[in-house]
Amino acid sequence: MNENDLIEIKNLRVSFPLDEGTVQALDGIDLSIPKGKVIGIVGESGCGKSITARSILQIIPPPGKIDQGEILLRTKLGSMNDDEHIIDLAKLKPDSDLLRQIRWGEISMVFQEPMTSFSAYHSLGDQIMEALLMHKDVSKEEARQAAIEMLDRVGIPNAAVRLNQFPHEFSGGMRQRAMIGMALICNPSMLIADEPTTSLDVTIQAQMLDLMKDLRRDFGSSIMFITHNLGVIAQIADEVSIMYLGKIVEQGTTMDIFHDQKHPYTSSLVEAIPKISDARKKRLTTIRGSVPSPFERPSGCPFHNRCPKMMPGVCDVKVPTPIDFGNGHKAACLLYE
Protein backbone atom coordinates (compact mmCIF):
# COMPACT_ATOMS: atom_id res chain seq x y z
CA MET A 1 0.00 0.00 0.00
CA ASN A 2 1.33 3.37 -1.10
CA GLU A 3 2.46 5.74 1.69
CA ASN A 4 0.05 8.50 0.58
CA ASP A 5 -2.96 6.28 0.26
CA LEU A 6 -5.69 6.32 2.86
CA ILE A 7 -7.63 3.46 1.35
CA GLU A 8 -6.68 0.82 -1.13
CA ILE A 9 -9.29 -1.51 -2.57
CA LYS A 10 -7.90 -4.66 -4.18
CA ASN A 11 -9.81 -6.99 -6.47
CA LEU A 12 -13.13 -6.38 -4.68
CA ARG A 13 -15.95 -8.67 -5.76
CA VAL A 14 -19.49 -8.25 -4.44
CA SER A 15 -22.46 -10.35 -5.48
CA PHE A 16 -26.19 -10.47 -4.79
CA PRO A 17 -27.60 -14.00 -4.74
CA LEU A 18 -31.21 -13.39 -5.81
CA ASP A 19 -33.97 -15.84 -6.72
CA GLU A 20 -33.59 -14.90 -10.40
CA GLY A 21 -29.85 -15.61 -10.33
CA THR A 22 -26.69 -14.11 -8.95
CA VAL A 23 -25.87 -10.52 -9.79
CA GLN A 24 -22.16 -9.76 -9.86
CA ALA A 25 -22.38 -6.16 -8.69
CA LEU A 26 -18.64 -5.61 -8.41
CA ASP A 27 -16.38 -7.66 -10.63
CA GLY A 28 -12.87 -7.07 -9.34
CA ILE A 29 -12.44 -3.41 -8.38
CA ASP A 30 -8.98 -1.92 -7.80
CA LEU A 31 -9.03 1.61 -6.46
CA SER A 32 -6.89 3.69 -4.21
CA ILE A 33 -7.86 6.88 -2.44
CA PRO A 34 -4.95 9.16 -1.56
CA LYS A 35 -5.03 11.30 1.58
CA GLY A 36 -6.70 14.67 1.12
CA LYS A 37 -7.72 14.11 -2.51
CA VAL A 38 -11.13 14.07 -4.16
CA ILE A 39 -11.72 10.91 -6.17
CA GLY A 40 -14.64 10.96 -8.54
CA ILE A 41 -16.47 7.75 -9.37
CA VAL A 42 -18.54 8.04 -12.54
CA GLY A 43 -20.86 5.67 -14.33
CA GLU A 44 -24.42 5.00 -15.41
CA SER A 45 -27.06 3.77 -12.95
CA GLY A 46 -26.47 0.21 -11.81
CA CYS A 47 -22.76 0.09 -12.61
CA GLY A 48 -21.76 -0.47 -8.97
CA LYS A 49 -20.74 3.01 -7.81
CA SER A 50 -22.86 2.96 -4.67
CA ILE A 51 -22.04 -0.65 -3.89
CA THR A 52 -18.33 0.20 -3.99
CA ALA A 53 -18.93 2.96 -1.48
CA ARG A 54 -21.17 0.89 0.75
CA SER A 55 -18.72 -2.02 0.73
CA ILE A 56 -16.20 0.19 2.47
CA LEU A 57 -18.55 0.67 5.43
CA GLN A 58 -20.06 -2.81 5.06
CA ILE A 59 -23.56 -1.45 4.65
CA ILE A 60 -24.40 -3.26 1.41
CA PRO A 61 -28.16 -3.90 1.29
CA PRO A 62 -28.98 -7.60 1.88
CA PRO A 63 -28.55 -10.16 0.37
CA GLY A 64 -25.38 -8.57 -1.08
CA LYS A 65 -22.06 -9.83 0.21
CA ILE A 66 -18.36 -9.35 -0.30
CA ASP A 67 -17.04 -12.52 -1.94
CA GLN A 68 -13.42 -11.64 -2.34
CA GLY A 69 -10.95 -8.81 -2.13
CA GLU A 70 -9.42 -6.44 0.37
CA ILE A 71 -10.36 -2.97 1.53
CA LEU A 72 -7.26 -1.67 3.28
CA LEU A 73 -7.54 1.36 5.53
CA ARG A 74 -4.71 3.24 7.15
CA THR A 75 -5.90 4.24 10.63
CA LYS A 76 -4.92 4.73 14.24
CA LEU A 77 -8.11 3.07 15.46
CA GLY A 78 -7.69 -0.39 16.92
CA SER A 79 -3.94 -0.01 17.17
CA MET A 80 -2.15 -0.92 20.40
CA ASN A 81 0.37 1.92 20.53
CA ASP A 82 -1.65 4.64 18.81
CA ASP A 83 0.42 4.31 15.65
CA GLU A 84 -1.02 4.15 12.19
CA HIS A 85 -1.56 0.64 10.98
CA ILE A 86 -3.44 -1.02 8.16
CA ILE A 87 -6.76 -2.79 8.63
CA ASP A 88 -8.60 -4.89 6.06
CA LEU A 89 -12.19 -3.67 6.41
CA ALA A 90 -13.51 -6.55 4.33
CA LYS A 91 -12.33 -8.97 7.01
CA LEU A 92 -14.11 -7.20 9.90
CA LYS A 93 -17.46 -8.50 11.10
CA PRO A 94 -20.29 -6.02 10.40
CA ASP A 95 -21.16 -5.77 14.11
CA SER A 96 -17.60 -5.70 15.42
CA ASP A 97 -16.57 -2.86 17.72
CA LEU A 98 -13.65 -1.87 15.52
CA LEU A 99 -15.80 -1.53 12.43
CA ARG A 100 -18.34 0.50 14.39
CA GLN A 101 -15.54 2.84 15.49
CA ILE A 102 -14.38 3.23 11.91
CA ARG A 103 -17.89 3.95 10.71
CA TRP A 104 -18.28 7.73 10.98
CA GLY A 105 -15.16 7.93 13.18
CA GLU A 106 -12.84 7.47 10.17
CA ILE A 107 -15.20 7.24 7.21
CA SER A 108 -18.56 8.93 6.98
CA MET A 109 -21.05 9.13 4.17
CA VAL A 110 -23.58 11.48 2.64
CA PHE A 111 -26.39 9.77 0.76
CA GLN A 112 -28.31 10.63 -2.35
CA GLU A 113 -31.69 11.16 -0.66
CA PRO A 114 -31.65 13.93 1.93
CA MET A 115 -35.40 13.48 2.39
CA THR A 116 -35.08 9.98 3.83
CA SER A 117 -31.59 10.11 5.36
CA PHE A 118 -32.94 11.35 8.69
CA SER A 119 -35.46 9.66 10.92
CA ALA A 120 -38.68 11.67 10.97
CA TYR A 121 -39.22 10.75 14.61
CA HIS A 122 -36.09 12.33 16.07
CA SER A 123 -34.91 15.92 16.07
CA LEU A 124 -32.04 16.79 13.79
CA GLY A 125 -29.94 17.68 16.82
CA ASP A 126 -30.56 14.30 18.40
CA GLN A 127 -29.33 12.53 15.28
CA ILE A 128 -26.30 14.75 14.76
CA MET A 129 -25.28 14.61 18.42
CA GLU A 130 -25.72 10.85 18.42
CA ALA A 131 -22.88 10.56 15.91
CA LEU A 132 -20.55 12.63 18.05
CA LEU A 133 -21.51 10.97 21.34
CA MET A 134 -20.95 7.59 19.74
CA HIS A 135 -17.36 8.32 18.79
CA LYS A 136 -15.91 11.06 20.93
CA ASP A 137 -15.65 11.31 24.67
CA VAL A 138 -17.78 14.42 25.05
CA SER A 139 -20.63 15.48 27.32
CA LYS A 140 -24.12 16.06 25.97
CA GLU A 141 -23.70 19.79 26.31
CA GLU A 142 -20.39 19.75 24.41
CA ALA A 143 -21.97 17.63 21.70
CA ARG A 144 -24.79 20.14 21.47
CA GLN A 145 -22.37 23.05 21.10
CA ALA A 146 -20.41 21.16 18.45
CA ALA A 147 -23.60 20.37 16.55
CA ILE A 148 -24.68 24.02 16.64
CA GLU A 149 -21.27 25.13 15.36
CA MET A 150 -21.37 22.53 12.61
CA LEU A 151 -24.86 23.51 11.43
CA ASP A 152 -23.67 27.08 11.40
CA ARG A 153 -20.60 26.01 9.43
CA VAL A 154 -22.67 24.30 6.71
CA GLY A 155 -24.83 27.39 6.34
CA ILE A 156 -27.97 26.69 8.35
CA PRO A 157 -29.06 29.99 9.85
CA ASN A 158 -30.28 30.18 13.46
CA ALA A 159 -28.60 26.86 14.22
CA ALA A 160 -29.32 26.77 17.97
CA VAL A 161 -33.07 26.81 17.30
CA ARG A 162 -32.96 24.66 14.18
CA LEU A 163 -31.15 21.96 16.11
CA ASN A 164 -34.31 21.14 18.05
CA GLN A 165 -36.44 20.93 14.95
CA PHE A 166 -37.49 17.81 13.10
CA PRO A 167 -36.50 16.82 9.55
CA HIS A 168 -39.92 17.68 8.09
CA GLU A 169 -39.30 21.29 9.03
CA PHE A 170 -36.30 21.49 6.67
CA SER A 171 -36.16 21.74 2.87
CA GLY A 172 -34.23 19.15 0.86
CA GLY A 173 -31.24 21.43 0.43
CA MET A 174 -31.19 22.26 4.15
CA ARG A 175 -31.39 18.58 5.05
CA GLN A 176 -28.47 17.80 2.77
CA ARG A 177 -26.49 20.59 4.41
CA ALA A 178 -27.32 19.09 7.80
CA MET A 179 -26.33 15.66 6.48
CA ILE A 180 -22.96 17.00 5.33
CA GLY A 181 -22.58 18.62 8.74
CA MET A 182 -23.38 15.35 10.47
CA ALA A 183 -20.90 13.53 8.22
CA LEU A 184 -18.10 15.90 9.21
CA ILE A 185 -18.85 16.24 12.90
CA CYS A 186 -16.43 13.51 13.97
CA ASN A 187 -13.75 14.93 11.70
CA PRO A 188 -13.37 11.75 9.61
CA SER A 189 -10.38 11.09 7.39
CA MET A 190 -12.66 10.28 4.49
CA LEU A 191 -16.08 11.42 3.36
CA ILE A 192 -18.03 9.33 0.89
CA ALA A 193 -20.49 11.47 -1.04
CA ASP A 194 -22.92 9.19 -2.87
CA GLU A 195 -24.58 11.44 -5.47
CA PRO A 196 -25.14 14.10 -2.80
CA THR A 197 -26.49 16.65 -5.27
CA THR A 198 -28.54 14.47 -7.60
CA SER A 199 -31.92 15.01 -5.99
CA LEU A 200 -31.41 18.75 -5.51
CA ASP A 201 -32.14 21.50 -8.00
CA VAL A 202 -29.31 23.09 -9.94
CA THR A 203 -28.76 26.21 -7.82
CA ILE A 204 -28.70 24.15 -4.63
CA GLN A 205 -26.34 21.70 -6.38
CA ALA A 206 -23.91 24.53 -7.03
CA GLN A 207 -24.14 25.65 -3.38
CA MET A 208 -23.46 22.10 -2.19
CA LEU A 209 -20.39 21.79 -4.38
CA ASP A 210 -19.03 25.11 -3.08
CA LEU A 211 -19.73 23.95 0.44
CA MET A 212 -17.93 20.66 -0.09
CA LYS A 213 -14.94 22.42 -1.64
CA ASP A 214 -14.74 24.76 1.38
CA LEU A 215 -15.05 21.92 3.82
CA ARG A 216 -12.43 19.90 2.04
CA ARG A 217 -10.04 22.84 2.34
CA ASP A 218 -10.84 23.31 6.05
CA PHE A 219 -11.01 19.72 7.21
CA GLY A 220 -8.50 18.12 4.84
CA SER A 221 -10.56 14.95 4.47
CA SER A 222 -10.33 12.73 1.41
CA ILE A 223 -13.58 12.65 -0.52
CA MET A 224 -14.95 9.84 -2.61
CA PHE A 225 -17.42 11.61 -4.83
CA ILE A 226 -19.91 9.42 -6.65
CA THR A 227 -21.95 10.87 -9.45
CA HIS A 228 -23.23 10.28 -12.96
CA ASN A 229 -22.74 13.93 -13.75
CA LEU A 230 -19.41 14.60 -15.43
CA GLY A 231 -19.95 18.34 -15.13
CA VAL A 232 -19.87 18.02 -11.35
CA ILE A 233 -16.75 15.87 -11.51
CA ALA A 234 -14.91 18.48 -13.56
CA GLN A 235 -15.57 21.01 -10.81
CA ILE A 236 -14.55 19.01 -7.81
CA ALA A 237 -12.43 15.91 -8.49
CA ASP A 238 -8.65 15.47 -8.60
CA GLU A 239 -8.81 11.96 -10.00
CA VAL A 240 -11.60 10.07 -11.71
CA SER A 241 -12.55 6.42 -12.08
CA ILE A 242 -15.05 5.46 -14.76
CA MET A 243 -17.13 2.38 -13.93
CA TYR A 244 -19.11 0.12 -16.20
CA LEU A 245 -20.97 -3.04 -15.12
CA GLY A 246 -19.07 -3.58 -11.89
CA LYS A 247 -15.64 -2.84 -13.31
CA ILE A 248 -13.43 0.22 -13.45
CA VAL A 249 -12.81 0.73 -17.17
CA GLU A 250 -10.61 3.80 -16.96
CA GLN A 251 -8.94 5.83 -14.26
CA GLY A 252 -6.72 8.87 -14.30
CA THR A 253 -6.48 12.51 -13.36
CA THR A 254 -9.43 14.74 -14.17
CA MET A 255 -7.28 16.22 -16.95
CA ASP A 256 -6.67 12.75 -18.48
CA ILE A 257 -10.33 11.83 -18.36
CA PHE A 258 -11.60 15.00 -20.01
CA HIS A 259 -8.83 15.62 -22.53
CA ASP A 260 -7.01 12.35 -23.19
CA GLN A 261 -9.53 9.53 -22.73
CA LYS A 262 -8.40 6.08 -23.83
CA HIS A 263 -11.51 3.97 -23.32
CA PRO A 264 -14.34 4.34 -25.89
CA TYR A 265 -16.87 4.37 -23.03
CA THR A 266 -15.18 7.37 -21.44
CA SER A 267 -15.07 9.12 -24.82
CA SER A 268 -18.78 8.46 -25.31
CA LEU A 269 -19.58 9.87 -21.86
CA VAL A 270 -17.54 12.99 -22.48
CA GLU A 271 -19.10 13.50 -25.92
CA ALA A 272 -22.54 13.15 -24.39
CA ILE A 273 -22.05 16.26 -22.23
CA PRO A 274 -24.27 18.97 -23.74
CA LYS A 275 -22.30 22.03 -24.84
CA ILE A 276 -23.87 25.46 -25.10
CA SER A 277 -21.92 26.20 -28.31
CA ASP A 278 -23.50 23.34 -30.28
CA ALA A 279 -27.00 23.81 -28.98
CA ARG A 280 -28.46 24.80 -32.37
CA LYS A 281 -26.22 22.88 -34.66
CA LYS A 282 -26.61 19.20 -33.83
CA ARG A 283 -28.43 16.59 -31.85
CA LEU A 284 -27.07 15.55 -28.47
CA THR A 285 -24.69 12.59 -28.78
CA THR A 286 -25.88 9.53 -26.91
CA ILE A 287 -24.44 6.12 -26.17
CA ARG A 288 -26.07 3.42 -28.26
CA GLY A 289 -28.27 0.91 -26.36
CA SER A 290 -28.57 0.75 -22.61
CA VAL A 291 -26.83 -0.93 -19.70
CA PRO A 292 -27.41 -4.71 -20.13
CA SER A 293 -29.53 -6.63 -17.64
CA PRO A 294 -27.42 -7.62 -14.65
CA PHE A 295 -28.37 -11.25 -15.27
CA GLU A 296 -26.96 -11.22 -18.81
CA ARG A 297 -23.43 -9.95 -18.66
CA PRO A 298 -21.91 -9.73 -22.15
CA SER A 299 -18.97 -12.05 -22.82
CA GLY A 300 -15.49 -10.57 -23.27
CA CYS A 301 -15.37 -6.83 -22.74
CA PRO A 302 -18.66 -5.88 -20.98
CA PHE A 303 -19.00 -2.77 -23.15
CA HIS A 304 -18.50 -4.50 -26.52
CA ASN A 305 -22.18 -4.56 -27.58
CA ARG A 306 -22.46 -0.79 -27.24
CA CYS A 307 -18.95 0.16 -28.30
CA PRO A 308 -18.47 2.22 -31.50
CA LYS A 309 -14.99 0.72 -31.96
CA MET A 310 -15.92 -2.88 -31.28
CA MET A 311 -13.62 -5.42 -32.98
CA PRO A 312 -15.63 -8.57 -33.84
CA GLY A 313 -13.96 -11.78 -32.75
CA VAL A 314 -11.78 -9.96 -30.23
CA CYS A 315 -13.89 -7.76 -27.95
CA ASP A 316 -16.70 -10.27 -27.50
CA VAL A 317 -14.24 -13.04 -26.62
CA LYS A 318 -11.34 -11.67 -24.68
CA VAL A 319 -11.58 -9.98 -21.28
CA PRO A 320 -9.49 -6.79 -21.28
CA THR A 321 -6.97 -6.08 -18.52
CA PRO A 322 -6.01 -2.55 -17.42
CA ILE A 323 -3.14 -1.02 -19.40
CA ASP A 324 -0.96 1.64 -17.83
CA PHE A 325 -0.47 4.82 -19.86
CA GLY A 326 1.82 6.33 -17.26
CA ASN A 327 1.22 8.61 -14.30
CA GLY A 328 -1.56 6.45 -12.97
CA HIS A 329 -3.67 6.72 -16.11
CA LYS A 330 -5.09 3.25 -16.84
CA ALA A 331 -7.73 1.89 -19.18
CA ALA A 332 -9.02 -1.61 -19.75
CA CYS A 333 -9.58 -1.77 -23.50
CA LEU A 334 -8.54 -4.32 -26.10
CA LEU A 335 -7.77 -1.58 -28.64
CA TYR A 336 -4.46 -1.10 -26.87
CA GLU A 337 -3.50 -4.72 -26.34
CA 230 to chain centre: 14
Cα 54 to Cα 124, 148, 194, 327: the distances in Å are: 23, 28, 9, 28
CB 89 within 8 A of CB 73: yes
- Pick 52 or 117: Cβ nearer other proteins: 117
- Pick 55 or 268: Cβ nearer other proteins: 55
- Pick 77 or 232: Cβ nearer other proteins: 77
Establish whether the linkage from the previous residue to 167 is cis, with ω within 30° of 0: no
Shortest distance, position 295 Cβ to other proteins, whole Å: 22
- Pick 49 or 135: Cβ nearer other proteins: 135
- Pick 52 or 235: Cβ nearer other proteins: 52
Shortest distance, position 117 Cβ to other proteins, whole Å: 5
Shortest distance, position 151 Cβ to other proteins, whole Å: 17
What's the half-sphere exposure (Cβ side, CA atoms, 13 Å) at 188?
28
Shortest distance, position 166 Cβ to other proteins, whole Å: 4
CB 229 within 8 A of CB 296: no
What's the half-sphere exposure (Cβ side, CA atoms, 13 Å) at 259?
5
Shortest distance, position 203 Cβ to other proteins, whole Å: 24
Interface with other proteins by CB under 8 A: which residues?
57, 59, 61-62, 95, 100-105, 108-109, 111, 113, 116-123, 127, 130-131, 134-135, 166, 168-169, 182
Shortest distance, position 265 Cβ to other proteins, whole Å: 30
- Pick 121 or 217: Cβ nearer other proteins: 121
- Pick 184 or 269: Cβ nearer other proteins: 184
- Pick 11 or 96: Cβ nearer other proteins: 96
Shortest distance, position 134 Cβ to other proteins, whole Å: 5
Shortest distance, position 182 Cβ to other proteins, whole Å: 8
- Pick 119 or 321: Cβ nearer other proteins: 119
Shortest distance, position 95 Cβ to other proteins, whole Å: 5
